[in-house]
Structure 1
């Protein structure tokens, strides 16, 4: 990757697990959204990005799930627990972040406008 392109999308952060996560963090910062990366949520584990108190963004690659079907099912179980506790869960792929960002930026802006990131969550 060229230095110019790296500056445009953001360099990998120390809290990112992937290039997609680094790029998404960079884009969220440009939107001036408050978020944390690699947040531990009890009974779920670590989530990639938590916007506000209740909007979870997970970044997955096709290879990740293609190589491990158990991971695919485990992610759906995690989503079910998060949703039951009041979180909104958005799963994005590499292509969404790098090639179709305008569409997903609009989607995230809609969640923020509806204040889904501010909803209270329930502890179990």
Structure 2
């Protein structure tokens, strides 16, 4: 059931081009257990290093190493005024408010874990 919701939400979050090399939104985030299970496991050392740098353990030298499977929260950045890009980048049409509310409700209803 959650897998279907995640797929539904992913299809409705608009995309846009970021500034190449910018990773300002790639900090520590939480995600559902189901989304986390799709990501490669990181060691405790890798997790600790990322937290120390207030970064994501999946952020590599060339950007997000799990971009196609990135969590919903990562996909929301820049698509809504509540998670605005600090550089003003955004899609032509922002996310539908109803969909955004449904995503936040999904966050409340599912177990969230630190990425």
**TM-score computed with the length of structure 2 as normaliser:** 0.28
Q: Which has the higher relative contact order, 1 or 2, with Cα contacts under 8 A spaced 6 or more apart? A: 2
**As a proportion of its length, which structure holds more strand?**
1
Name the structure with the higher helix share: 1
